[in-house]
Amino acid sequence: MTEPLRLGLIGDNIAASQSPRLHRLAGRQNGCPVTYDSLIPALEGLDFDALFARCAVSGYRGINVTYPYKERVTEKLRIDDPLVRAMGAVNTVLFDADGPRGFNTDYSGFVAAYRSVRGTAAPGPVLMIGAGGVGRAIAFGLIALGATEIRLADRDLARADALARSLRQAQPGVTVLTGTDAAAMADGADGLVNGTPIGMVGYDGTPLPAPLMQGAAWAFDAVYTPVQTQFLSDAAAAGLQIISGYELFVGQGVDAWALFTGLPLDEARLRADLAAGRDAE
């Protein structure tokens, strides 16, 4: 493949994203030059809809989509996988001759991240803070991992209730509770999940006070910039098993690369290159 593969990421507050490096490094492994553009609607002078439409006719093979557009983009796509349709969130788009298609590699990335740390251990009752795009993918991942009780905390109760309905439809035996106050829903949870942008660069803080983590078994933070968030630091101090958002980042990126190209990837080499700060340029 000699022509550069054109990819990109649409989202807000993505200046620190490592996705451009990941895909350029993946391209280098295959002798495939990759351009991967960071596309922030406000900086492009376009709203999301106009920017997406521009990408669709500008030679992109595909794009990743991140906060806060993972749900909004679904209305523009053909989604063949019924599970992804049920999620109502997409983070990977392919531009094909017959139109754009949507996929969700956050889901597969989360499941892989959980299993890499906890193996076959059941999630137990889980408090998930945030019912937006990445939260929807994680919630469906929790069902795949055998969760029987999921507590959804979101400032937008209607959004949490909508996700709860989708989860109950997909897995009728699951208990799903909803509310707006994560602190009030934390008692007795084995798993604690941050599916909000709180803690990432530009959104300092934590979605759950540290004292409320006592008694839980594990914690996952979807944020990976920075890798060590206050949420994870507090969880580690409380003795919980930690699952880093960096694991989801790598997993979703590897799966997205497979969709974009169908080319092989040495994940161990990719991780080493990322950790060493290497780039393909």
Condensed to tens digits (0 to 9), the pLDDT of residues 64-77 reads: 999 999 999 999 99
224 residue type, one letter? Y
The pLDDT of residue 1: 46
Amino acid in the structure at residue 153: A
Q: Give pLDDT tens digits for 75-119.
A: 999 999 999 999 999 999 999 999 999 999 999 999 999 999 999
For 107-244, which CATH superfamily applies? NAD(P)-binding Rossmann-like Domain (3.40.50.720)
The pLDDT score that the predictor gives to residue 258 is 97
Instruction: Quote the tokens at residue 37.
Output: 């553009």
In this predicted structure, the answer to whether residue 237 has a pLDDT above a threshold of 50 is yes
- Quote the tokens at residue 58: 């500008």
**Would you say 151 and 174 are in contact if contact means Cβ atoms under 8 Å apart?**
no
Residues 187, 115: Cα–Cα separation, whole Å: 24
> Do 193 and 168 meet the contact criterion of CB atoms below 8 Å apart?
no
Residue 278: its H or E element: none
Q: Are 210 and 237 in contact (CB under 8 A)?
A: yes
Question: Which residue in the block uniquely carries the two structure tokens 């996929």?
Answer: 103
Residues annotated catalytic, as ranges:
69
CA 101 to CA 80: how far, in whole Å? 8
Token digits for 106?
Answer: 């956050």
Q: How far apart are CA 40 and CA 215, in angstroms?
A: 40
Does the structure show a pLDDT above 80 at 158?
A: yes
Domain ranges of the chain: 5-104+247-275, 107-244
CATH number at 5-104+247-275: 3.40.50.10860
- What's phi and psi for 30, nearest 5 deg? -105, 10
Q: Over the chain, what is the mean pLDDT?
A: 96
Angle at 112 (CA atoms; ends 101, 135), nearest 5 degrees: 60
**How far is residue 150 CA from its own chain's centroid?**
18
| Res. 189: pLDDT tops 80 | yes
Domains 5-104+247-275 and 107-244 share a fold: yes
Mean pLDDT calculated for residue range 13-35: 95
* Tens-place pLDDT, residues 258-281: 999 999 999 999 999 999 988 875
pLDDT digits (tens, 9 = 90+) for 198-218: 999 889 999 999 999 999 999
pTM over 0.85: yes
Task: List the end-to-end C-alpha distance of the chain, in Å, as a whole number.
Answer: 17
Q: Is the pLDDT of residue 250 over 90?
A: yes
